[in-house]
Amino acid sequence: MRASRVRTPALWLPLGPREASALARAAGLLAAVSVAVAVLVAVMPWAMWTRAGLAFFLVALAGGLHPVLAARRRPPAGWLVLDHQGVKTPGAPPLVVWAEPFGVTVLASPDRSRLALAFTSAQATRFLAVRVLDAGDAAEAPSLFARAVSAADADLRSHEAGALCAADAEKLLSTLARRAPGALDRMYLQDASGDPVVLDRGELRVGARRIDLSAPLEWRAFVFEEPGVHAVSVCQATWVRQGDGEVVLVAPLGESSASLQGAQDARLMQSVTGEPPPRELRRAVDRLFMLPLRRALDRAPRGSRPPSSPVLMPLGRA
C-alpha cells in the first residue's frame, strides 16, 4: 500500500501596510473617558461600596481594553501564500513553482528602507516589494540585508500596497532556502536577443559561453557613449574574460544610477571611461541585475594575466 504524501501546512504572510484600525486610534480616548467616568462615580452621593465597586470596574475596564484595542490593525491588503505548489498571491501568476527551477535576487534602495525580491525563471521575472517598518523590523531580517544588492530608487519595481515587512521577507527567504537549495544564488535572465544569461551552481552562462566562477577570470567595469540618431546614450558595461573567451554585458546607465555612488555596493559601480565595445561581444541585460552579476564575478578568483583585450585598451584614459 502506497504511503500518502504528507504536505507541509501553508504559510500565509500579510501584504501591505498594517495601519491602526479606527478603534485603535480611539483607544486612548476611550480609556480616558472610562477613567473620567470612574472619577465622577467616586463623588456621587451613593453608598461607598457602590461607588468604589463601579469606579474600580471602570478603571480596570480602561486598563484592560486599551492595550487590546490599541493593537488592532486593519486587515492586510492581501496574503502571500507558500504551499505545496509554490509561492503565490491570490488572483496573480505564481511567483514560484516548486517544480520549476527559479532564482531569487534581493535588491535594495541605497538607504535600505525599501527592498524588492526579484523572482527569475526561464519564463518570467516577477517582483515582490518589501517595506522596512522600523529598526525593530530590520533587526529581524539579517539574511535579507546581507544578501541585498543596491539598486536606484527609481529602478525598484515595487508596490507599497502589496509589500511584505522585512521580518516576513526573512521568513520567506528562509523557507525558499529550505525548499529550493541554491535558489538564493541563482538568476535567470535573457539578453536583448532572447538568449539566456544564467547564474547557477558556480557558473555564469551567457548564451553559449560558459564562465566558471571557481576558476580565475578577469573582469572590469566601464562606461561608454553610444551615438544614436538624435542623441548620445551613456551605457555601463562589464567586460569578462576567461581563457580565450570574452563577453561584455551592457545596460543603459540611467540618470538614477548616480544615487548609488554612496551606496553599500559603490565599489562595484566604480568605472572608467572606455570606447564602445565590439557589437559581437555585447550582451544587453536589464540594468537592475548588473550589480548582482558583478558581485558574483567579484567573488571569483582573479586571473594573473594583464588585460590585453582591445575592449580594455582605452580604459587607462581619464
- Residue 38 confidence (pLDDT): 64
Same domain, 138 and 165: yes
d(CA 3, CA 23): 50
Same domain, 138 and 223: no
Together in a domain, 45 and 139: no
What span, in angstroms and rounded, lies between the C-alpha atoms of 62 and 68?
10
Using DSSP, state whether 292 is helix, strand or coil. helix
Residues 204, 169 share a domain: no
Same domain assignment for residues 167 and 204: no
Distance of CA 266 to the CA centre of its chain: 18
312 located within any domain: yes
Query: Which residue among 135, 150, 185 closes a domain?
Result: 185
Residue 193 resides in a domain: no
Q: Is residue 266 part of a domain?
A: yes
Predicted confidence at residue 86, as pLDDT, reads 95
Asked whether residue 14 is assigned to any structural domain, the reply reads no
Q: Which residue has the cell 526579484?
A: 118
> Could you give the strand order of the β-sheet that contains 164-165, starting from the edge strand earlier in sequence?
149-150, 103-108, 114-120, 125-131, 164-165
* Residue 76 included in any domain: no
- Residue 275 placed within a domain: yes
Q: Nearest CA to 214 among 237, 186, 242, 188?
A: 242
Judge if 302 and 226 occupy the same domain: yes
- Residue 155 in domain: yes
Length of the chain: 318
Cβ neighbours for 179, distance < 8 A, ≥ 6 positions apart: 98
What Cα–Cα distance (Å) separates residue 40 from each residue in 59, 189, 194? 12, 70, 77
Same domain, 215 and 291: yes
- Residue 187 C-alpha cell reads as 538568476
pTM above 0.85, yes or no: no
Closest CA to 198 of 209, 187, 208: 187
Contacts of 285 (CB under 8 A, 6+ apart): 189, 191, 192, 197, 249, 250, 251, 293
* Model pLDDT, residue 91: 80
Per DSSP, the residues of 188-243 read EEE-TTS-EEEEETTEEEETTEEEETTS-BEEEEEEEEEE-SSSEEEEEEEEEEET
Asked if 206 and 308 sit in the same domain, the reply is yes
Provide the residue range defining the domain that includes 272: 198-316
Q: pLDDT truncated to tens, each residue of the chain (318 aa)?
A: 344 444 556 899 999 875 544 554 554 666 666 667 667 767 777 777 776 777 677 667 667 665 654 444 567 778 999 999 999 987 889 999 999 999 999 999 988 989 999 999 999 999 999 999 899 999 999 999 999 999 888 888 666 668 999 999 999 999 999 999 999 999 999 999 999 999 998 999 999 999 999 999 999 999 999 887 777 889 999 999 999 999 999 999 875 565 665 566 778 888 889 999 999 999 999 999 999 999 999 999 987 655 554 444 343 333
Can you give the pLDDT at residue 22? 54
Q: Do 123 and 149 sit in the same domain of this protein?
A: yes
208, 270: one domain: yes
Let me know whether 221 and 306 are in one domain. yes
Question: What is the domain count for the chain?
Answer: 3
Whether residue 215 is found in the same domain as residue 300: yes
The pLDDT of residue 169 is: 97
Last residue of a domain, one of 136, 153, 185: 185
Question: 144, 161, 185: which is the final residue of a domain?
Answer: 185
Q: Does any domain span residue 3?
A: no
